[in-house]
Amino acid sequence: MPSVAHCPAVLIAAPASGQGKTTVTAALARLHARQGRRVRVFKCGPDFLDPHWHELASGQPVHNLDLWVNGEDDIRARLHEAALNSDLILVEGVMGLFDGEPSAADLALRWGIPVLAVIDASAMAGTFGALAHGLRHYRPGLPWAGVLANRVASEGHERMLQASVRAEAQGGESGSLDAGWLGALRRDAGLSLPERHLGLTVACELPDAMARLDALADAFATTPLGNLESPAWRRWAVAFEAAASQPVTPLLQGRKVAVARDAAFCFIYPANLDILCALGAELQCFSPLADEALPSCDAVWLPGGYPELHAEALSRNRQTRDSLLAHVDAGKPVWAECGGMMPLFDGLTLNDGQRHPMWGVLSGEVCMQSRLAALGPQQWVTPSGTLRGHTFHYSTVNAHGMPAGYTEPVRPYGRPEAVYRRGALQASYFHPWFASSPEAAAQLFLQEVA
């Protein structure tokens, strides 16, 4: 494998959340993928939802990149592999360009990935250029691709915005227009992706998802970003170095792991599935939402998702519930995270006050909240290693009995997340990144209780 691979790449960022980063990233991925190019998309931070759209747009699995959660070696390996096998790499940032520790800007600086800034221009004109200038020059040495205006009202509005960037470029270091303006998207309700309380609506839930992406791609076709053969894209080629090989011991060799996968349990990192396979596990998917009984298995993974949107259906669940109870009573391991944990308790109360009885595997009640209950990076120190990950949820648990342990928040404002146990079942709001400690991840599916 070559030690260095070159590939055009941009990091799509913004001055804040809600500017249109995901829309632009998905549109570019769809545009170039339908032209027959191999496009790989990555998402900064631990987000589960945006990657659903990017995978649909690109036709390729989408991995998350977080300097703390992944670590540099893991990111280096993923970017190098993508560069070897792709014509274009797109990395969507998180929050604002300089928000978070580490930020999207830190990632761009570390790997030399040029930044494409998306700015919601709906309520500005000349200030657009000032924002572009600030984003470009706030951190010395930040690699820069240019700026894209989003939610533009008219051709006249676009000309004013472009003029502000021209003024910025003439006063900047390069003095060249191609370092600044990269086009505009009109203000159009059809050129956006639908949202709900945790973020974007999952792409697979919308029958017109691909049509939405095609409309977005069409809007980019005539911009400088629509032509991969342009001098700009060639200038944005990045050299991605290989990482040292880190073999994974097949601790789960011969073990069958049942994985819940449906609209209610859909927050799954593809990288976590890859690690389970590298550990030797045989994965078998099943649908609790369809009330499927557990397949014949040695362990179960209930990943996060949207049980609150399917509470009534899950409350009628019998086959999944009974087979899961039998599995737990037999002393076999279960790992349940966040949304995968919520149905395990006695009941789930929604924001409208309606309580739905759940599966009763764990004793206690789950209540949805109108505001975010917890957010931030966490780590779980186990005897087999430290798993890194994050927490993000709008519900709280009132459990009967003390937790078996806690994760540790990484930020000063964070709070620990409880880890609940019943036999070999372990459950928490904590979302782990399995590659941060494959040995610790394996133990989630190995520990049995006689």
pLDDT digit string, tens, across residues 46-105: 988 899 999 999 999 999 999 999 999 999 999 999 999 999 999 999 999 999 989 999
Q: What is the pLDDT of residue 188?
A: 76
Residue 277: active-site member: no
Provide the percentage of residues in the chain whose pLDDT is more than 90. 79
Q: What is the pLDDT of residue 325?
A: 98
Tell me the mean pLDDT in the region 249-271: 96
Q: Which residue shows structure tokens 């990935």?
A: 113
Q: What is the pLDDT of residue 176?
A: 40
Three-state DSSP state, 336: strand
Common-topology check for domains 4-241 and 256-443 = yes
Q: What is the pLDDT of residue 196?
A: 42
| pLDDT higher than threshold 70 for residue 177 | no
Q: Which fold has domain 256-443?
A: Rossmann fold (3.40.50)
Per-residue pLDDT tens digits for 280-323: 999 999 999 999 999 999 999 999 999 999 999 999 999 999 99
Compute the C-alpha angle 206/62/40, nearest 5°: 110
At 220, the pLDDT band (50, 70, 90 cuts) reads confident
Peptide bond into 333 cis (omega under 30): no
Q: What is the pLDDT of residue 169?
A: 54
pTM: 0.91
| pLDDT higher than threshold 70 for residue 254 | yes
Q: What is the pLDDT of residue 55?
A: 94
* Alpha-carbon separation of residue 433 from 65, 77, 251, 265 (angstroms): 11, 15, 17, 17
Mean pLDDT score of the chain: 91
Q: Which of 204, 277, 338, 367 is catalytic?
A: 338
| pLDDT higher than threshold 70 for residue 19 | yes
At 2, the pLDDT band (50, 70, 90 cuts) reads confident
Per-residue pLDDT tens digits for 417-449: 999 999 999 999 999 999 999 999 999 999 877
Q: What is the pLDDT of residue 173?
A: 43
Q: Where are the domains of the chain?
A: 4-241, 256-443
How would CATH label the architecture of 4-241?
Answer: 3-Layer(aba) Sandwich (3.40)
Tell me the mean pLDDT in the region 215-235: 85
At 412, the pLDDT band (50, 70, 90 cuts) reads confident
Q: Which residue shows structure tokens 């149905």?
A: 343
At 201, the pLDDT band (50, 70, 90 cuts) reads low
At 329, the pLDDT band (50, 70, 90 cuts) reads very high
At 450, the pLDDT band (50, 70, 90 cuts) reads low
- Mean pLDDT lowest among 225-239, 254-268, 312-326: 225-239
Measure the CA–CA gap between 45 and 68, rounded to whole angstroms.
9
Q: Quote the strand ranges of 303-417, DSSP E.
A: 334-337, 347-349, 355-357, 364-368, 374-382, 385-393, 395-399, 405-406, 408-409
